[in-house]
């Protein structure tokens, strides 16, 4: 009887040990390598859709306090600092609310950024913008009816699609923004429906970057949860699985 009790205790101890080790390994992977992230809004449409689940590369820009769960204030700056590149899609902490946001890096330190009649200007130079057609899919545009789709090509050659939901909206004409040193200017690809550096976000300090969006590993439409397996046959977006999270 005593031996049976010892055996049960030993088995329980081994189980607890395995669980603790697995949790520690998961925490290390999440902190140092890749963090899963779900898209909460339509600000990055058509590149990223609500219901997309993606991996964020934590080591792409080095590590700051925001690389750790709950952003503990235990050090400042970045360790093994990496530099965000123009055109990257990145997750960062809002400079005021500390909430996770995901946008595209448009302006680098020292750049002058402005929107004029829907055209993006960087340092007084218009960014190449080509109308490629229209999308008439509410799952992609959040709007019933055709929406113009443009391809922008940044000065470093990075190309991506943007939506123009409302021609001549307030988002199409802005003042000139001068990006301070150590900060970045972020914009959503859904240009008329994005709370970004043009409006409530402001300039984003390098320290606030969490990581670079890497790849979509799961996608489900209709506001469904991944746990609602019975909705998979009708709602899974299989064509988005293992798709780039930046194009």
Catalytic residues: 43, 103
Q: Give the largest CA-CA distance in the chain.
A: 83
DSSP 220: B
User: Hey, what are 21's tokens?
Assistant: 């080790």
Provide Rg for the chain, Cα atoms.
21
**Measuring CA to CA, how many Å separate 242 from each of 57, 118, 246?**
15, 31, 12
Other Cβ atoms within 10 Å of 107 Cβ, number: 24
Spatial separation of the C-alpha atoms in residues 228 and 234, rounded to whole Å = 11
User: Hey, what are 139's tokens?
Assistant: 């799952």
Q: Which residues contact 117 (CB under 8 A, 6 or more apart)?
A: 168, 172, 173
Please compute, for residue 187, the number of CA atoms within 13 A of its CA located in the half-sphere on the CB side. Answer: 26
Percent helix, strand, coil in the chain, to 5, is 20, 35, 45
């Amino acid at each position: 009887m005593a031996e049976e009790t010892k055996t049960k205790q030993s088995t329980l101890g081994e189980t607890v040990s395995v669980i603790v080790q697995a949790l520690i390994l998961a925490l290390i992977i999440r902190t140092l390598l890749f963090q899963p992230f779900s898209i909460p809004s339509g600000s990055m449409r058509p590149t990223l859709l609500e219901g997309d689940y993606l991996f964020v590369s934590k080591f792409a820009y080095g590590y700051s306090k925001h690389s750790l769960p709950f952003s503990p204030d235990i050090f400042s700056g970045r360790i093994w600092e990496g530099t965000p590149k123009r055109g990257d899609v990145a997750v960062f902490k809002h400079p005021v609310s500390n909430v996770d946001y995901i946008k595209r890096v448009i302006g680098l330190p020292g750049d002058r950024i402005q929107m004029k009649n829907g055209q993006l200007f960087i340092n007084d130079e218009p960014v190449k913008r080509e109308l490629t057609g229209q999308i008439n899919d509410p799952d992609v545009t959040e709007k019933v009816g055709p929406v113009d789709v443009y391809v922008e090509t940044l000065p470093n050659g990075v190309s991506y699609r943007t939506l123009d939901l409302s021609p001549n909206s307030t988002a199409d004409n802005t003042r000139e923004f001068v990006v301070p040193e150590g900060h970045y200017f972020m914009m959503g690809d859904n240009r008329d429906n994005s709370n970004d550096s043009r409006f409530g976000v402001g300039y984003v300090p390098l320290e606030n970057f969490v990581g670079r969006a890497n790849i979509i590993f799961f996608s489900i439409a209709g506001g469904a949860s991944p746990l609602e397996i019975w909705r998979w046959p009708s709602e899974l977006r299989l064509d988005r699985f293992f798709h780039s999270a930046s194009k």
